[in-house]
Structure 1
């Protein structure tokens, strides 16, 4: 039978993983190797995907992928019996006490002197705490979250207390056979940059899965240290890890840490610096030599690796590639490695013969045999060195919460209720109250400055520039800062708790109908905050097709920069009891239009099916108050910087352009100004939509730079008197304008990010297409509303 035929609560043993290509290799890297026990825990509310427990962690797969995995030995999975066997804390070797580390030979490079530059790569699986450790090492405040794929690009920083040492935080990766684009960043950095040392961080609560990457990193021959993160959780749940035994087997320093609490980080740095300075490479890179019994599958893999390594040694020396690493990757049919080595025809035939013999002796294909060899070693190592804890409180809590948040009948209503709560609290609750208070403060400050300038007799032109130009433009935007901060607060809670991954699990089947994977939901939810990080988050998607489709959908998720415009127009034209409903309606309108656009793309430019849905589900965790506060401060600071730079400059320029005519004389009236001349050129485009006034056209043009400038521009053009909006719009045209702003092109920063991710032509076409969609949708809304007015 196949894996998709299991019922919830049933376990089985994997017989073989069928299929081919990157997906199959990825499944093997995730631990789905022959003879491994898997348990079906849950089926998603819509019947697909499914949630499995394998090698101590939760993994999601679609039924289509599960049908390619043959299983046998089906049984009813019982709760595991844990034996209370705590291990006492053991004295841990200090720096330089690693007597098993290789000694220096006369041909080895001399030790790097103190003070000389050092570079380190911070590497680990997704969601194992890399960025948290990076922040502790460097004193920076990079964003962290509790779902796979938070880090999508490399980040560099200086290690605190060691000015000569730099560390690079790399995207999470499960193996050195990259499956998605952000994983390629990690592999390329390690192979091409050749850092002085590697800090390999692993999740100590799930050592069996994490050590698979460790074994491949050791094959690179770069000095490295193993950081066992979350050791506080292991101890709290009754478990422990025999550090000295683990070090002795692996031949590298092993340091227990709790990155979130900054425990063990100083010792980790000391070990890393020592290993890098003295070029202490891993002692052990051969993980198959313990089995030399004739007929043993591991022994067959062992012989194949060494035969391949002997054959390709001249080619690896020529391209400066680690020999063992190149041999294992070649056996795994790594296309990138085969292209780099460029073996001559006779060696290709010899290699094919080596593979044939290995596959005949093991009964497994090359990729499965390699994964089986590695995981067999890891399983035996964990039996020797890991004292298993009771089921963690974090996992028990996650199971209880998931009964509701991913339950068959409660998952979708829960998601809708959570999003409705967030929007309501942002637009009608806390956010609205704080915004009203901020508006009073801004108004008081502006009035005080106005009084001061009047009392001191400042030149009237300068007075008008400061009050009706700069302060009116900046103040009109800053008033809505609390609304934006409130939205980011709730979004950060979703990220930190781990709920984002559950939303992807629940929504996968629904998104598949529009041609996307459930993983696309994470960038789209991030897009409600800001389009720039949302576009970058698409790097976690393995398919170029899915990445591009998701990037093109993100601008339809209304970003926080549009909030000030919504709040200004809705507050001016609609009764208070309808304001929150209209605001929420705008967000859902953007989602609906985005879905329709995705359906169009699927039937035209992006034909085909979305990539398979393979994702680890993390445990729920309580949000870190420090992390949430830091994110809110970063977003607020970024907003204020934008207000006092881009918006300030735009307000000054707008004020100046409306003060002078084409001959640079003071305009007799705003309608005769240089700005009016520019606005009147664009006004006919918007006339069919009901807002053909040059002032509105001007505001929309400035919105291309940053959406907030629409508010500041209108404020400046109306002389700071927002009540004059009543003369520009009716409630009907205000609603049409809201629809246009909702859908038209994102800001310059977002377009620039899109250009970097999907290319300049695609980014340019996005601007054109979105403007056309925005105009068409606004026109249809206007014609529809006129039927009822």
Structure 2
């Protein structure tokens, strides 16, 4: 038995999914987190729960909304669990009414009742269920309150079928519905009535399907629209909308009590005076990031990473050497383990604490409700480049990984805006690049680590905006609208923060154990072998020969060594491999750290230029693959590979020349 989980964006839908299935999906306090349907098993039940993207109605505008609508049209679900925002009851019930019109078994979950109560709003949950003819429950999904009752409900199979739900749309609309049903030949089919209403509301999916199967319907609809316009003075869909909102308003009036004037959440209002201010909002956002980076690279992260680095280069290396000696391992095996695996993979793992700390604070900002404000603040700036604030959400997701960032672009309605967002997403500084930053800032900018990293993140956003502005000049303009509900600020749940942090960071650890491990061994082997045999001087290795061919290209940027070029080439596979490649190729002596060795090969200026290039150049292989899948175009994907390299080269060259000018 399949149950579809429907609700508006930002109503706690994914939190409820996690609570009643025991699974964990990504939770963010903004719309568009779920960009595809996810399936879990409800605890102690044979029911499968399908977590669908948040929608405001069943008339889809974007790809993620189409996923939700198609689940009903394709009959993927036998019954519906509808989560409703108690804090925005009237607006949430519009989707509820549309779902009720399908006449599928349905149960309502009234979520966020704690926030409604803080505003002095009390909702009679039982009365709401009675008026709509279904069972109704209340929860605070974020804290798990009331979720056990929902789990118990699904022990009974199946959900009780509700009484037939039907809104009286008035004689003109009812006559129009009857005409459509007659054309469909299913006058008494309750599901077909919902299809007819959606057809009259210009639901593009249903309209396309029915117009192909029933060509005469188009003419019938045109006649109906003319009659309604002449009789009522407005359009068919406006009349249906008015009837629905009138019905919903009556229901809300009967179930809602307000203690005097509605109370606003004072903390939310106070912080938002700055957080969403048109002038101070962006500086406030940058200030927040600066504090997060200072915690990550200074106060918390660096001491832990230094201790881990000392362990890898000291006791672990010494212990491994002792074990290998006792086993009489041949020199080749010793070199693989000590110079390849421990030096390469260990050089990446030392930055795991900093990455997890960063993800913890990003999760905290998401769950608190602040990240939704960032999208609002950035809306004006994004409008300048032909996008809107909604496009900034996938870009922020790119701070974790560019792959889900590109997938999250599905939430954007307009094809042009979606394509632009996909093309600029790789400029967002993902967590894989973080290990490279951490290595270089520790070596060259110890007192200004947070500022340097913040400058790189900011540069990525600025370059993305400028590139999108250029691209928008060549793409057809499409009018779009940005509507987002600002949730009240919440005190994040510590357990959920830890799960979210692990969910974001586990990919890095998995890469270190698989992809980076294999790549590191290959890189070491390529530097161990040469035309004249094995264990050759590293400058005579195959790696040095191949990379040396391309090294002159980077001479204008200040880093023309074959080792730097090798790191950039292997970075195409995964940006974390840049660090493991350097640890192998620069031959860090025992007891030393890579950060202590780098100043022999780079100056602070060339180090920063190198970081700028790593930030902007060709995205990793996984990002390229998902870009090909989401755009469906090989040409666009190849174009992205080329133009990002050109942009990276141009910006890095500008930074290097500017640095030379001001430092001489």
TM (normalized to structure 2)? 0.92
Equivalent residues, number: 655
From the two aligned structures, give the one with the greater helix fraction.
Answer: 2
Q: CA–CA distance in 1 between the matches of 2:190 and 2:19?
A: 32
Aligned equivalent of 1:282, options 126, 149, 162: 162
Q: CA–CA distance in 2 between the matches of 1:415 and 1:644?
A: 35
Q: Does 1:733 align with 2:601?
A: no
Q: CA–CA distance in 1 between the matches of 2:187 and 2:531?
A: 69
Q: CA–CA distance in 2 between the matches of 1:476 and 1:755?
A: 31
Q: CA–CA distance in 2 between the matches of 1:124 and 1:447?
A: 54
Two-structure CA RMSD over aligned residues (Å): 2.6
Q: Which residue of 2 aligns with 1:87?
A: none
Task: Map 1:746-761 to 2 at 5 A.
Answer: 746-761=619-634
Q: Which residue of 1 aligns with 2:354?
A: 483
SS of corresponding position for 1:277: coil
Q: Does 1:205 align with 2:87?
A: yes
Q: Which residue of 1 aligns with 2:35?
A: 152
Aligned partners of 2:317 and 2:342 also within 8 Å: no
Q: CA–CA distance in 1 between the matches of 2:219 and 2:576?
A: 64
Q: CA–CA distance in 2 between the matches of 1:702 and 1:410?
A: 41
Q: Does 1:424 align with 2:298?
A: no
How far apart are residue 473 of structure 1 and its match?
Answer: 0.8
Q: Does 1:459 align with 2:321?
A: no
How far apart are residue 128 of structure 1 and its match?
Answer: 0.9
Aligned equivalent of 1:184, options 52, 58, 66: 66
Deviation string, structure 1 residues 245-290 (Cα, Å, up to 9, x no partner)? 333332222222332233333432444454x637x443132111xx
Distance 1:299 1:697, change over 3 A: same
Distance 1:219 1:455, change over 3 A: same
Q: CA–CA distance in 1 between the matches of 2:51 and 2:445?
A: 50
How far apart are residue 328 of structure 1 and its match?
Answer: 0.6
Q: Which residue of 1 aligns with 2:379?
A: 508
How far apart are residue 169 of structure 1 and its match?
Answer: 0.3
Distance 1:415 1:369, change over 3 A: same
Q: CA–CA distance in 2 between the matches of 1:785 and 1:568?
A: 21
Aligned partners of 1:241 and 1:385 also within 8 Å: yes
Task: Map 1:117-132 to 2 at 5 A.
Answer: 118-132=1-15
Q: CA–CA distance in 2 between the matches of 1:540 and 1:325?
A: 25
Distance 1:302 1:249, change over 3 A: farther
Q: Does 1:777 align with 2:651?
A: yes
Q: Does 1:622 align with 2:504?
A: no
Q: CA–CA distance in 1 between the matches of 2:515 and 2:203?
A: 48
- Point out the more displaced range, 521-530 or 352-361: 352-361
How far apart are residue 738 of structure 1 and its match?
Answer: 1.8
Q: CA–CA distance in 1 between the matches of 2:119 and 2:651?
A: 56
Q: CA–CA distance in 2 between the matches of 1:272 and 1:208?
A: 27
Deviation string, structure 1 residues 275-333 (Cα, Å, up to 9, x no partner)? x637x443132111xxxxxxxxx42355235423442332799xx99311121112212
Q: Which residue of 2 aligns with 1:655?
A: 524
How far apart are residue 764 of structure 1 and its match?
Answer: 2.4
Aligned partners of 1:147 and 1:498 also within 8 Å: yes
Q: Does 1:637 align with 2:506?
A: yes
Q: CA–CA distance in 2 between the matches of 1:669 and 1:346?
A: 80
Q: Which residue of 2 aligns with 1:263?
A: 145
Aligned equivalent of 2:109, options 227, 231, 248: 227
Aligned partners of 2:128 and 2:251 also within 8 Å: yes
How far apart are residue 690 of structure 1 and its match?
Answer: 3.3
Q: CA–CA distance in 1 between the matches of 2:300 and 2:619?
A: 27
How far apart are residue 707 of structure 1 and its match?
Answer: 0.6
Q: Does 1:673 align with 2:541?
A: yes
Aligned partners of 2:402 and 2:430 also within 8 Å: yes
How far apart are residue 203 of structure 1 and its match?
Answer: 1.3
Aligned partners of 2:107 and 2:134 also within 8 Å: yes
Structure 1: gaps (5+ residues): 1-117, 289-297
Q: Which residue of 1 aligns with 2:171?
A: 300
SS of corresponding position for 1:261: coil
Q: Which residue of 2 aligns with 1:355?
A: 225
Deviation string, structure 1 residues 697-723 (Cα, Å, up to 9, x no partner)? 221111011111111011111223435
Task: Map 1:405-420 to 2 at 5 A.
Answer: 405-407=275-277, 410-420=280-290
Task: Map 1:366-765 to 2 at 5 A.
Answer: 366-388=236-258, 395-407=265-277, 410-453=280-323, 456=326, 457-572=328-443, 574-604=444-474, 606-608=475-477, 611-662=480-531, 665-721=533-589, 722=594, 723-761=596-634, 762-765=636-639
How far apart are residue 584 of structure 1 and its match?
Answer: 2.7
Q: Which residue of 2 aligns with 1:140?
A: 23
Q: CA–CA distance in 1 between the matches of 2:629 and 2:566?
A: 28
Q: CA–CA distance in 2 between the matches of 1:557 and 1:613?
A: 22
Deviation string, structure 1 residues 682-702 (Cα, Å, up to 9, x no partner)? 334334433333222221111
Distance 1:409 1:668, change over 3 A: closer
Deviation string, structure 1 residues 661-693 (Cα, Å, up to 9, x no partner)? 347x31432233232333234334334433333
Q: Does 1:161 align with 2:35?
A: no
Deviation string, structure 1 residues 186-239 (Cα, Å, up to 9, x no partner)? 111221143121111111232211111111112223222111222344456655
SS of corresponding position for 2:421: helix
- Point out the more displaced range, 645-654 or 689-698: 689-698
Distance 1:444 1:190, change over 3 A: farther
Q: CA–CA distance in 1 between the matches of 2:72 and 2:264?
A: 33
- Point out the more displaced range, 628-637 or 581-590: 581-590
Distance 1:541 1:392, change over 3 A: farther
Q: CA–CA distance in 1 between the matches of 2:87 and 2:451?
A: 45
Q: CA–CA distance in 2 between the matches of 1:310 and 1:597?
A: 50
Q: Which residue of 1 aligns with 2:54?
A: 172
Q: CA–CA distance in 2 between the matches of 1:316 and 1:438?
A: 72
Distance 1:193 1:386, change over 3 A: same
Deviation string, structure 1 residues 81-119 (Cα, Å, up to 9, x no partner)? xxxxxxxxxxxxxxxxxxxxxxxxxxxxxxxxxxxxx11
Q: CA–CA distance in 1 between the matches of 2:217 and 2:655?
A: 68
Distance 1:341 1:273, change over 3 A: farther
Q: CA–CA distance in 2 between the matches of 1:781 and 1:248?
A: 67
